Amino acid sequence: MPYLTDTREISDIVSEYTKATTLWIDTEVAEFNSRNARLSLIQVLDNPDDMSGDRVYLLDVLDKPSLVADFVEQIMVNPNIEKVFHNASFDVKYLGSKQAKNITCTLEIAKKIPYYILPVPNYQLQTLATLLCNFNNIDKQEQGSNWAQRPLTEEQIEYAYLDCIYLAQIHRRLLELQAESNPDPAIEDITFLNARFSQIEAQWKLLNSEYEHLQERLKKAMQAQDISETTLYKLTSYDRKVVKVQFSQLTDLVQTQGINLDFPVTLTQKLQKDLGENLEQLSVDIEQSTSSRLTLKNQENNS
């Protein structure tokens, strides 16, 4: 886990990274809760098979904006290099923002995988590293430590390089799960899918019915007993305000005041029926889409 502080050494390794096809990157930010938030470290791994940390370089860029700019120019905006982050929206904010290209976010990949394939309580790096990759005793205490201090502690340095290792292993497993959850529909086993879907549909109807019923009972009971929180749930109330006006009154106001309200209106089936033949006098845009739904064949026969 080489920890580089020398400007020349950092520039040299960044130049080497331009030859990579994929980089696994993490950052540590100093004073991230203040207006003076700035990059402290850029951690980079170029070999996902490295579990020792030998290929994780810690680039100390605290108060070195020229080094950050160089990293952005050579790495972040380079479309030929895939940059893998966990929470990309946070890291990229300090590394080129909208200029950055070819960004992969493991957090977003994880969110798109169905829960039954990836049944995790949350999508934090620590959680995924533990449940997906069997890393144990992960200590995240240093995450909120003082990254503006120099020298960094040994604990901070160890924490920084380990995150890149976790990231690369999580990325690999998520790609496997992503492929598993998105098979080619042209070669899917329809017989298996048919049987499995039918099996869980009955279970889902029972479970969903109980879920919705218990949810309503719990809300009503908490409201009746004036309880806002239990050991497991919190009851939140909110007011929704709906403003309505007669359409004729609105059109009169628009005409008399010369207000520009030129926007398309979706004509529901009822509106189309009310307009009748007058609809032909309007210049309408028709958007047509096709949707599919599954129904039990015996239900169709009985209907």
The pLDDT tens digits of the residues spanning 20-41 come to: 999 999 999 999 889 999 999 9
> Within 13 Å of residue 106, how many CA atoms lie on the same side as its CB?
32
Q: What is the mean pLDDT of the chain?
A: 93
The answer on 121 and 18 residing in a single domain is yes
pLDDT of 273: 93
- Identity (one letter) of the amino acid at 191? T
Same domain? For 33 and 128 the reply is yes
pLDDT digits (tens, 9 = 90+) for 107-151: 999 999 999 999 999 999 999 999 999 999 888 778 889 999 999
**Whether residues 42 and 165 fall in one domain:** yes
| Host domain of residue 57 | 3-181
Q: Which of 278, 1, 20, 33 is closest to 159 using CA atoms? A: 1
94 found inside a domain: yes
CA terminus-to-terminus distance, the chain? 68
Measure the CA–CA gap between 174 and 153, rounded to whole angstroms: 32
Mode of pairing for the β-strands spanning 38-45 and 103-105: unpaired
Q: What is the mean pLDDT of residues 191-206?
A: 93
Mean of the pLDDT values across residues 78-91?
A: 98
- Does residue 292 lie in a domain region? no
Residues 89 and 154 both lie in one domain? yes
Residue 262 lies inside a defined structural domain of this protein: no
Total count of domains within the chain: 2
Kindly report the backbone phi and psi dihedral angles of residue 45, in degrees, each rounded to the nearest multiple of 5, phi listed first.
Answer: -125, 130
Q: Span 59-86, mean pLDDT?
A: 98
Q: Is 56 within the bounds of a domain?
A: yes
Q: Which two tokens stand for residue 212?
A: 């919705």
Contact 222, 230 (CB under 8 A): yes
Looking at the structure, do residues 111 and 198 belong to the same domain, yes or no? no
Task: Clarify whether residues 216 and 122 are in a common domain.
Answer: no
Same domain, 93 and 177: yes
- Crossing angle for the helix pair 125-133 and 154-181, nearest 10 degrees? 60
Whether 16 is in a domain gets the answer yes
| Domain co-membership, 105 together with 53 | yes
> Could you give the angle at the alpha carbon of 55 between the alpha carbons of 50 and 58, nearest 5°?
130
